[in-house]
Amino acid sequence: MKKILLLCTLLSSSLGQSASNDAVRVTAVEGESWLNHIHRTFDETSMGKTGHLGPPAPMPGEDSSDWRLGVWSGFTAQTITLRGRDIYRLNCQGCHTESGQGAPPEINSVINPVRSTSVAVIMEQMKQRGMEMSHSDAATLARQSNEALLQRLHQGGHDMPSFSHLSDAEIRSLMAYLRQLAGVPGAEKEQITITEGPSRVGEYVVKSTCHICHAAAGPNPDPEQISEGTIPPLSTLTRRTSLPQFVRKVTLGAPIAMGTPPLPCRGRMPVFDYLSQNEAADAYLYLTLYPSHN
């Protein structure tokens, strides 16, 4: 049944991407996790802690099957229309939160950097400070701020990974929403919609959120290694969990076996409840169709 579902999904995915006007090529995730790149463990960082943990492990003899009542019963891959707020949610919200305020001091707010790209906002701020500025000078500052923000998105920074997997159209849609989120006047009229296939949506989730903590590839850790803090690589996730289990883990949380002997324990992974169950399934589909290799 699982193979039939994946085959149907693959066919639907191919059809969906051919209907999209975005010719971006989906690629497998590669390399070490971002946490490993910046030499931090999960416990040493606020990354991921903008969410919340899943349910505790069931007590001995307790029935934990009730979760199935809240999990969707099927998944149909299809092309979908996304707005900038969706691009932000799928790529940025895991660290910067829904409001864009981040988790200071480690994860900065995006609000002020985005406001500094607006000529109107710059001129109003200078006026409030009792300082007059010409429109030309404000436009120069806004252009420089916009270039710096785009450079950060494309190349990353000291504590922020790059989002080089995003296309120009996706960046434009994202930037338009960031301006709306930051309250830039007139930004609500600038919003851009794009169409994406399910594999591309899954690529967003995996590369922008999962890859923060999970390396692309590596050995499959045992329960004792998990208890010691080892994070399973992305290449093992579709072997460790079925599609419904993966969706549950991402959107609702689930206990995980740790220690020797293995016992069910509350997992350390945050719950990404801002993702729909289909979007979590898109991530599983992406990992299945575009596996990482050691």
Q: For 10-62, write each residue's pLDDT tens digit.
A: 333 333 333 343 468 999 999 999 999 999 888 777 765 666 788 787 776 66
What is the structure's pLDDT at 73? 55
What is the structure's pLDDT at 103? 86
CB 235 within 8 A of CB 291: yes
Tell whether the model's pLDDT for residue 241 goes beyond 50.
yes
3-class DSSP assignment, residue 286: helix
Specify the pTM.
0.85
Cα torsion angle, 92, 96, 100, 106, sign: negative
Q: Compute the mean pLDDT over every residue in the chain, rounded to the nearest whole number.
A: 86
The pLDDT tens digits for 58-77 are 776 665 555 454 545 556 66
What is the structure's pLDDT at 65? 54
Integer Cα distance of 269 and 246 in angstroms: 12
The pLDDT tens digits for 84-101 are 999 999 999 999 999 999
Q: 3-state DSSP helix/strand/coil percent for the chain, to nearest 5? A: 50, 5, 45
Domains located in the chain, CATH noted: 1-77+197-294 (no CATH), 80-195 (1.10.760)
Residue 153 forms beta bridges with which residues?
none
What is the structure's pLDDT at 157? 87
Cα distances (angstroms) measured from residue 59 to each of 63, 108, 168: 8, 39, 50
3-class DSSP assignment, residue 264: strand
